[in-house]
Amino acid sequence: MPSTYLDHNGTCPPRPEAVAAMVAALSLPGNPSSVHAQGREARRRVEVARRQVAALLNLPPATLIFTGSGTEANALALASAGDRPVITSTIEHASVLEATPGALRCPATPDGVVDLGALDMMLGAAGRPAFLSLMAVNNETGVIQPVAEVAALARRHGALFHCDASQAVGRLAWDWAALAPDYLTVSAHKIGGPQGVGALAVRDGVPLAPILRGGGQERRRRAGTENVAGIVGFGAAAAACDAGAFNRLAVLRDGLEARLRAAAPELVVAGARAERVANTSCLVTPGWRGETQVMALDLVGYAVSSGSACSSGKVAASHVLAAMGMGPDLAGCAIRVSLGWSTTEDEVQHFAGAWTALHGRRAPAPAAQQAHLSPQDRQSVVSQTARQQ
């Protein structure tokens, strides 16, 4: 078991409040659809959790549908597109990209932000109101997307707007009621709740096409007996979130990046010029494969990722970095370090020392590191480094 966990974007360690609430809920024998006392108590706890998650979003509790994951919540939203043309971006999570093989893909800028000009043209060229699915925060780079501007474009073009906010909720103090997406995905294990629980918020009056049928649960919007303990843990984690306190991580993250850049001048921090959530660093080291770094760091007691946790087991270049203009050689040399509620300054400092030591033992001169890169990637290193100065 790694002694230092720095993969909070993959799964945030459960908060003590969530664990305690789940342990208490696990002792309940009742099905929340049953009318006896035990069933009513299970139902009460589910509804308390619904209110807690809704309060974090500033949305009415009745808009929330509990699901088995953020991926399921995305699928439920996307199934509601009907015959509308679907538009997503090139930097979306795999749960959106793989569910929409025929969608139009909006490009991203080299800084990892959705190209609003291109999106405006695509919405206009669709010929009829579209279904738009764009994330709030990129899971690999931490780059914050212009959700307010995207929502305004969607309204102007009559499009339905689904926003995957799994990496944003609890990390940004956003009023989701004011932003007003039509569908909003959240995931428990990204905020210190349990794995296997998500939710989709659905605005009144927009279409919804259930993908699980056969029961009256969740107002007939998602059949299946509710995961009471998981939902209760989700609610407790939501109640414990403090986006203001989360911002303390920016100091740790920025200090880490400065120290690593000083040790490795060739290092590129993907999205460094864009606005990012406080906890995320996507570190690209030319000539040092991401999976090699992950394994070497794991052996010395540090857990980081080489991309999305949903791509584990795959040795492939990041599609997000490719969408930002990096070729396969450079895009395959990234690791993601993501901090969270339990991360300490000492852990970050010790990680920086471990990474620097590993880099020093294997790294040739920067010029030699870049010699094997394609012209596209060499130019990308130059331009990305210039942007982050």
pLDDT digits (tens, 9 = 90+) for 64-113: 999 999 999 999 999 999 999 999 999 999 999 999 999 999 999 999 99
In the structure, what pLDDT confidence band is assigned to residue 381 with cuts at 50, 70 and 90? low
* Residue 228: per-residue pLDDT: 97
What percent of the chain has pLDDT above 90?
87
Nearest alpha carbon to residue 136 among 119, 151, 122, 124: 151
The catalytic residue positions are: 310
Predicted TM-score (pTM) of the model is 0.91
3-state secondary structure of 143: strand
Question: What does the alpha-carbon distance between residue 150 and residue 283 come to, in Å, rounded to a whole number?
Answer: 28
Q: Rounded to whole angstroms, how far apart are CA atoms 375 and 103?
A: 31
* pLDDT, tens digit (0-9, with 9 covering 90-100), for 355-367: 999 999 985 545 4
Question: What pLDDT was estimated at residue 379?
Answer: 53
What would you measure as the largest C-alpha separation in the chain, in angstroms? 72
Per domain, the residue ranges of the chain are 4-10+245-388, 16-240
Closest CA to 276 of 253, 297, 295: 253
pLDDT for 34 beyond 60: yes
Q: Where are the alpha helices (DSSP H) in the chain?
A: 16-26, 37-57, 70-78, 94-97, 116-125, 147-157, 176-179, 217-220, 228-240, 243-246, 249-263, 290-299, 319-323, 328-331, 345-362, 366-371, 375-388
More confident residue, 374 or 61: 61
Predicted pLDDT of residue 313: 52
Task: Determine the angle formed by the axes of helices 228-240 and 16-26, rounding to 10 degrees.
Answer: 150
Domain 4-10+245-388: top CATH class: alpha beta
258: left (phi over 0), alpha (psi -120 to 50) or beta: alpha
How many CB atoms are closer than 10 A to CB 173? 10
Distance CA 257, CA 142 (A): 14
Q: What is the pLDDT of residues 304-333, one digit of tens each?
A: 998 655 554 555 679 999 999 999 999 999
CA Rg, the chain, in Å?
21
Beta bridge partners of residue 161, listed in sequence order: 132
Domain range 16-240, CATH architecture: 3-Layer(aba) Sandwich (3.40)
Give the number of other CB atoms < 10 A from CB of residue 285: 23
Residue 362 pLDDT: 81
pLDDT of residue 41: 96
Stretch 166-192: mean pLDDT, rounded? 96
Neighbours of 248 (CB within 10 A): 16
The residue to which tokens 């998500």 are assigned: 198
Name the residue type at position 170. G
Q: Which of 47, 9, 190, 279 is nearest to 55 (CA)?
A: 47
